[in-house]
Structure 1
Amino acid sequence: MLFEQEGSPQPPREVTATIEIHSLLKNLQQSRIPLSITFDGRSQILQSYIVDLDIPHGALFIDEMIPPIGDKWASQGETFRVDAWLDGVHMRWSGANAQRVVLEDAPAFSVSLPASMIYHQRRGAFRATVQRSIDTRVALIHAKHQRRFEGELLDISATGCKARLTGNHVQGLQPGERYELSRLLLPDTAEFDINLEIRHREYHQDADTTHVGLRFHQPGPQVQRQIDRFVHYLQREARRLEKEDLF
């Protein structure tokens, strides 16, 4: 399986960190995710897309709406709610005072970037398989004990990963223990610090390797953004390969 679900649905949380909001919106734009828009006091659901982000000027650009009656309501300055779903995550935010603009010779609307969003993981996060041809490295480093283990990723999700270590390390890796000074290297990123918690481990005698399940413990917004980008890249590549296999 290319993707597997892990964990359980999480309660909704309010996202207020600017860098995380920008990352989520960028993911919606790059994945061409449709936006469901409803105006206050109106029952009709309209559709649009994010066409651009102007982070320095705090602007979000969305396409004209379908059906076009939404363009009229937006031009009248009516407030609206935006809902979007990406890989089992429901995102929601509010907008108002949309301004008609022309973006690259096409009509669009400009609205202010949201100051907060509701982020609701409605199902477990997807784990994407990491091919051996992709260069990844993980170093498990304990803050207090003289322990260090190094390996490569087998799979990864927004909330954790599985690593392959050479040799038998079942006794040295105890579930629940945190390796606070760990390091993770993903393609096209600099190596970064991350706090990893051991979830499970299993020794495979035929290959003399230990597979260890790890949870990311409270990564900062910038680290989470790098992880999310890599997961989305793996998902896009997997979908592309699946489509090629159909022909």
Structure 2
Amino acid sequence: MTYRILKTPEEHYSVLRTIQDNRYPTTLTFHSHDQEYLTQVIKADIANRCFYIDELRPPSGHKLAASGESFDIVTKLNGVEIIIKGSSIVGAGKSETGQFYKITFPSEVLYLQRRHAFRVDIPEESEVFVEFRGDEHQSTTHAEVLDISATGCRLKIKKMPEPPFENGDHIPFFNFKISQNIHVEGEAEVRFISEVEEDASFIIGLQLTELFGLGHRTMERFVNEIQREARKQRFE
């Protein structure tokens, strides 16, 4: 696991905006109690160096928050764990949707990334595709890659082959076309399948059980490049 300490307001804002935009569940734990409370980051404000969280669940957390009890915040997203320690509520209010709380940016944010598990969304303009076939399938399936990590990916296919893929199916060969000149090949296993009723397509999750040649290094480099580009665009 890779450990990083984020200390600048810009880094804090970037992380908090990612949590906010993707509505990742966040856990809040008061130092004087073992109970965990669920909330969400609803706004990050870099100009005033603060952020806002939604009402706490269960509601018993409201009294603790109002009394100024210190707490830790933990959010897990796509192979990353984000920890903010020793925070407290500096303001509160009510909106049409319920209670909310104001918290100042901390002095530091602990950012723990499991490198091989970190998953990134593929930008639409990147158009990353994969070709694969199962043990029971003679024809090759072409799929759009929606998100990817060094150990797994989520794909979208327009039509299920015959016989249809099932959970646990072995994929003896896949070929990721990251770009015109960069390919990653290996073996995989089907981990989940869901149907998208709106356009009669299917979402398939693959676990990448083996990457051939320099596939691991190539995949990690690709994931890191997308992650850096996403951070850069957030401040443009």
Q: What TM-score comes out, normalization by structure 2 length? A: 0.54
Q: Matched residue of 2:221: which SS?
A: strand
Change in Cα spacing, 1:65 to 1:129, as seen in structure 2 (3 Å) is closer
Shift of 1:102: 2.8
RMSD, aligned CA: 3.9
Shift of 1:93: 0.2
Shift of 1:99: 1.8
- The whole-number CA distance in structure 2 between the counterparts of 1:83 and 1:129 is 22
- Number of positions where the alignment pairs a residue of Structure 1 with one of Structure 2: 161
Q: In the alignment, is residue 98 of structure 1 matched against residue 90 of structure 2?
A: yes
Q: Matched residue of 1:12: which SS?
A: strand
Shift of 1:54: 2.0
Counterpart position of 1:34: 25
Q: Matched residue of 2:52: which SS?
A: strand
Q: In the alignment, is residue 79 of structure 1 matched against residue 59 of structure 2?
A: no
Counterpart position of 2:107: 115
- The whole-number CA distance in structure 2 between the counterparts of 1:213 and 1:37 is 34
Shift of 1:214: 7.0
Deviates more, 1:57-66 or 1:12-21: 12-21
Q: Is the 8 A contact 2:38 2:58 kept in 1?
A: yes
Shift of 1:64: 1.0
Shift of 1:163: 4.0
Change in Cα spacing, 1:91 to 1:200, as seen in structure 2 (3 Å) is same
- The whole-number CA distance in structure 2 between the counterparts of 1:226 and 1:62 is 25
| 1:115-194 correspondence to structure 2 within 5 Å | 115-122=107-114, 124-126=116-118, 130=122, 134-136=124-126, 163-165=178-180
Q: Which ranges in structure 2 are unaligned for 5 or more consecutive residues?
A: 128-144, 151-175, 183-212
Q: What TM-score comes out, normalization by structure 1 length? A: 0.52
Which portions of structure 1, spanning 4 or more consecutive aligned residues, are displaced by more than 3 angstroms?
Answer: 103-106, 125-131, 134-137, 154-159, 221-224, 226-229
* Identity, % of aligned positions: 25
**Cα shift readout 1:162-200 (whole Å, capped 9, x = no counterpart):** 742459xxxxxxxxxxxxxxxxxxxxxxxxxxxxxxx94
Q: Which ranges in structure 1 are unaligned for 5 or more consecutive residues?
A: 1-9, 138-153, 168-198, 202-211, 230-247
> Which residue type is aligned with residue 112 of structure 1?
T
- The whole-number CA distance in structure 2 between the counterparts of 1:43 and 1:57 is 31
- The whole-number CA distance in structure 2 between the counterparts of 1:89 and 1:228 is 18
